[in-house]
């Protein structure tokens, strides 16, 4: 569900709204006395503050992961562009073959960032692995035939290209743990139960008890959207790879 932030928003809003209504029901069954309200206010404030801190911390985690995905996209473009130049150090036939492969590889990497379809993603991953094997084989043959420092530069550049893809894949797998989401939702549920229970007037049922679940759910939507590489509204745009592809095509 975390891969579909909009569905997760509806789910979390429903859960939190029901929690607030449960709190309102408990208030009607056993209302707070005046001597208890002050102590209850301390607990409610502390719980809401804790929720705010956890949401802020989780948002920071999501932003760090998003920035890491952007950084690795830039690193991939730089590695491919550098290897495209270094390929000229190989024998002419091998150099031409590597450069063609790198142009195709760049297009594959752009598709990796842009696709939202899981079947297409699996095909892209398979094509990427196959093309990586071909590129390594292409630079490996002249390196074994002529193990010179100049040829080693081209081999080292290809190694950087392959490594950068691995770093990118690891960054896309690095998500906020489901256990962290579960704990945050549990605290949010407690906060909404307390908000419903602490309401002074029955009129609050359709006012404040609607606003708090909505606001918290919007915060969850933003965090889930940033943390989801392919779902939602916010994505890493492969602008560096796209610029590189246009440059190589020329």
Report the predicted TM-score, pTM, of the whole model to 2 decimal places: 0.85
Tens digit of pLDDT per residue, the chain (250 long)?
A: 778 888 999 999 999 999 988 888 887 777 766 667 777 788 888 999 999 999 999 999 999 999 999 999 999 999 999 999 998 888 888 889 999 999 999 999 999 999 988 899 999 999 999 999 999 999 988 888 888 888 889 899 999 999 999 999 999 999 999 889 999 999 999 998 988 887 765 555 556 778 889 999 999 999 999 998 888 888 899 999 999 999 888 7
Distance CA 228, CA 4 (A): 8
User: Residue 18 belongs to what H/E stretch?
Assistant: helix 5-29
In Å, what is the CA distance from 167 to each residue of 39, 75, 108, 162, 175? Answer: 51, 9, 16, 9, 14
With H, G, I as helix, E, B as strand and everything else as coil, classify residue 117: coil
Using CB atoms within 10 Å of the CB of residue 117, give its burial: 0 to 12 exposed, 13 to 18 middle, 19+ buried. Answer: exposed
Note whether 16 and 187 are within 8 A (CB): no
């Amino acid at each position: 569900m975390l891969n579909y932030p909009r569905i997760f928003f509806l789910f979390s809003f429903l859960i939190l709204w029901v929690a607030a209504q449960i709190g309102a029901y408990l208030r009607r069954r056993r209302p707070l006395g005046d001597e208890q309200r002050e102590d209850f206010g301390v607990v409610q404030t502390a719980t809401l503050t804790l929720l705010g801190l956890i949401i802020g911390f989780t948002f920071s985690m999501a932003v760090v992961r998003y920035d890491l995905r952007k950084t690795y996209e830039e690193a991939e473009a730089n590695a491919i562009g550098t290897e495209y130049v270094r390929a000229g150090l190989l024998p002419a036939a091998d150099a031409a073959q590597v450069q063609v492969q790198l142009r195709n590889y760049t297009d594959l990497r752009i598709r990796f960032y842009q696709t939202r379809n899981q079947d297409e993603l699996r095909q892209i991953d398979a094509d990427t692995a196959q093309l990586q094997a071909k590129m390594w084989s292409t630079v490996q043959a002249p390196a074994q035939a002529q193990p010179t420092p100049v040829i080693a530069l081209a081999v080292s550049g290809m190694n950087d290209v392959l490594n950068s893809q691995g770093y990118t894949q690891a960054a896309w797998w690095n998500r906020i743990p489901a256990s962290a989401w579960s704990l945050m939702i549990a605290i949010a549920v407690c906060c909404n139960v307390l908000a419903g229970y602490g309401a002074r007037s029955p009129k609050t049922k359709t006012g404040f008890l609607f606003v708090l679940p909505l606001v918290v759910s919007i915060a969850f939507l933003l965090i889930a959207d940033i943390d989801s590489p392919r779902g939602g509204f916010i994505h890493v745009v492969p602008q560096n790879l796209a610029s590189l592809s246009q440059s190589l095509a020329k």
